[in-house]
Chain A
Amino acid sequence: MKEFISKNKTVAIELLYKMKNIRLVEETIARRYSEWKMRCPTHLCTGQESVAVAVGTALRKDDFVISTHRAHGHYLGKGGSLKRMIAEIYGKSTGCSKGKGGSMHLIDKSVNFMGSTAIVGGTIPVGVGLGLSITLKKTDQISCVFFGDGSIEEGVFYESVNFAVLKKLPVLFICENNFYSVYSPLKVRQPEGRKIYEMVAAMGCPSQCGNGNDVLEVYQKVNSVLEGIRQGNGPFFFEFDTYRWREHCGHNFDNDLGYRTQEEYLSWKEKDPVCAWETILLEAGVISTKDIEEMENKINKEIANAFDFAEKSPFPDTKEVCTEIYSE
């Protein structure tokens, strides 16, 4: 770790910056959600920042990414426009989907973030299709698909992995296992002792698991397979354990519902991925508390600008309710 940090100071700091950025964005959304100006469901990823950041940083700008309903982190991690994301959540015409998508349907083609959608498992085959297009066009891009542990219970997941393996497509499957599908814990959904990555390996797709709250571990693990995928080795699957802090959908905490214990929540909070990496960088001496303060000020200023941009942006014209149904 120390060696990595000293050799890759810029990347180390970039990882922290991006994680802090996502954390502060999500927490600002949570804080301001009750203003009732953001009128769409939001699935915040507070606590899950490291996978999004590590993968987004390891990938190239021209690699494709596709994601789910909980996509803020994946979108920002890939370099998606913050202003346009917040405007989208506000339902404004300047939003990344012109107000027609909302928090669950984000896109930023300028960084090849190709879309996110809210039907669990729905983007997995789409990501594989992007992989097929890469093979047909003979480029060395990668198509990365983010999804959760619930998605692997959908039939389309198996269909998609099977095809990606069969055709050796350049697909990076990233499963963020946060142990819950809405309020349903893993134990009511999957047999005890199953490791998702082992099951996937049995399908012929090489796989690994890892600590999804350790940004460096995720970054290095993902980085170590990218070249092979680019060279035609076929897909790779990662299962990273992580945890969402806030409620499944919305800005509150939902531990009072009783579907998970306060103890469990607190134990994961102690594994805060942002805090952990910050401490490591401070101890390694590559960053000072003053640097962190400046970093946070810069991020907060950008967030304030983004919210300001969103608030000042116009709503779409009502005539647009029935436009863009078909492409010309």
Chain B
Amino acid sequence: MTRKITYAQAINEAMVQAMEMDKSVICYGLGVDDPKGVFGTTLGLKEKFGSERVFDMPTSENAMTGVAIGASMNGIRPVMTHQRLDFFLLAMDQLVNNAAKWHYMFGGQTSVPITIRLLLGRGWGQGPTHSQNLQAWFAHIPGLKVVMPTTAADAKGLLLSSIFDNNPVIFIEHRWLHNLEGEVPEGDYRVPIGKAQKLRTGDDITIVSLSYMTIEALHAIEILGRNGISCDLIDLRSVNPIDWEMIYGSVRKTKKLLALDTAAESFSVASEVVARVSMECFNDLKCAPKRIALPDCPTPTSPALTKVFDKGAVDIVNMAGKMTGKNIDTGEISKHKTYPHDVPGDWFKGPF
């Protein structure tokens, strides 16, 4: 049975179910029990499971990550949340030097089953220290798993998989997805880590996307479709490990690749997708692979600057059109999009 709930509700539901299923699951982070409950995702948890398992924490991201590591070594499954990915950077030492390599460094004898929820996003002047998309950093570290669910169902399914995975998992939520509704299965629903999902099927070009950019891609694909271009849209869901087979299979069919990312372009996940496809599918490609990501600069704050900084459906339509030899009028996108560019609009709600 499925029913329509939001991405934030799906995360909350996954937390409740995980904590009901296994009493070793604990949840902490700045503000997890405050009135807003981390954008609604942790509301009610303390009331249901008590302050021993659900608690606010000192502003000590690094130590509290180490605390999660130590607790996990004795059978606890901590889920840590951070209101902004940027705040978690203080904890890179514990994440990289301990969590990621503890299993390897001790010859596989111990593992670190922790889940770190990081919220990122863009818009409304979040600026240089409140909107960094550093998924490629995390994906670069051997020993970490990194997931970026796009849909509400995947948010639930991947969070449950992350919590019950025996490894450290970085679970990245885009704030512009939190209010997105989708059909979400009830019960213990798991989405395997490392498996991508094909959201649209087409023959002319493969679009590999992740997180919020997938929403922009879905909108772009509608326009492209009306202009006679059909697309394979692969939503990565996991950026470490990446589902290469699905990507290669699609590119071998369409012969064209456009990789999207929510992050700065250089050294991004999109860059890795382009690199691997170039190496593995070189003879199949009919044109040079392309990527759409953010410029290599910190996120500006002014709406005048974010307008050119952020990327979306228009850019995707233009690029895919160019790659398939068509000039497409993107005017209808702006007709649909009545909201300013720096707030998430309701111009696309699904279904997926």
Contacts and interface: CB of A to CB of B under 8 A. Distances in A.
Interface stretch (A72-80, A160-168, A204-212, A306-314): A160-168
A97 B63 contact: no
B106 A97 contact: yes
A326 B240 CA distance: 11
A328 interface: yes
Interface in B6-36: 24, 26
Contact of B107 (A98, A124, A126, A328): A98
B301 interface: no
A190 B143 CA distance: 36
Interface in B63-80: 63-76
Given A66-B70, A130-B71, A133-B75, A163 B108 contact: no
B110 to A, nearest CB: 7
Contact of A130 (B65, B70, B94): B70
Contact of B110 (A115, A122, A156): A115
B63 A122 contact: no
Given A66-B70, A132-B76, A163-B60, A126 B98 contact: yes
A328 B111 CA distance: 9
B55 to A, nearest CB: 9
B97 A97 contact: no
A130 B24 CA distance: 13
Interface string A125-136: 111111111101
A95 interface: yes
B296 interface: no
Contact of B105 (A117, A130, A133, A166): A117
A97 B166 contact: no
Interface stretch (A99-107, A244-252, A278-286, A290-298): A99-107
B103 interface: yes
Contacts of A109: 109-110
Contacts of B69: 125-126, 129
Contact of A129 (B62, B73, B105, B107): B73
Contact of A122 (B68, B93, B142): B93
A125 B74 contact: no
B66 A124 contact: yes
Interface string B265-307: 0000000000000000000000000000000000000000000
B94 A125 contact: yes
Contact of B98 (A99, A117, A128, A326): A117
Which interface residue of A98, A107, A115, A143 has the most chain B CB atoms within 10 A?
A: A115
Nearest to B102: A115
B135 interface: no
A125 B63 contact: yes
A119 interface: yes
A107 B109 contact: yes
B325 interface: no
Interface in B34-73: 52-53, 57-58, 60, 62-73
A97 B70 contact: no
Interface residues of A, number: 45
B329 to A, nearest CB: 48
A99 B109 CA distance: 12
B104 interface: yes
Contacts of B104: 100, 324-325
A162 B69 CA distance: 17
Contacts of B63: 124-125, 128, 156, 159-160, 162-163
Q: Most A CB atoms within 10 A — which of B65, B70, B113? A: B70
B145 interface: yes
B166 A125 contact: no
B106 A115 contact: yes
B320 to A, nearest CB: 35
Interface of B: 24, 26, 52-53, 57-58, 60, 62-76, 93-94, 97-98, 102-111, 113, 142-143, 145, 166-167
25 contacts: A97-B106, A99-B107, A100-B105, A101-B107, A107-B109, A114-B73, A115-B110, A119-B98, A122-B97, A124-B63, A124-B66, A125-B64, A125-B70, A129-B68, A132-B67, A133-B75, A136-B52, A156-B66, A159-B62, A163-B58, A163-B67, A166-B58, A323-B108, A324-B104, A327-B166
Interface of A: 64, 66, 95-101, 105, 107, 109, 114-115, 117, 119, 122-134, 136-137, 143, 155-156, 159-160, 162-163, 166, 323-328
The 7 closest A-B pairs by CB, nearest first: A129-B70, A125-B66, A98-B107, A159-B63, A327-B111, A159-B60, A133-B74
Given A109-B110, A130-B70, 6 more contacts: A123-B66, A125-B63, A129-B71, A136-B24, A137-B75, A327-B103
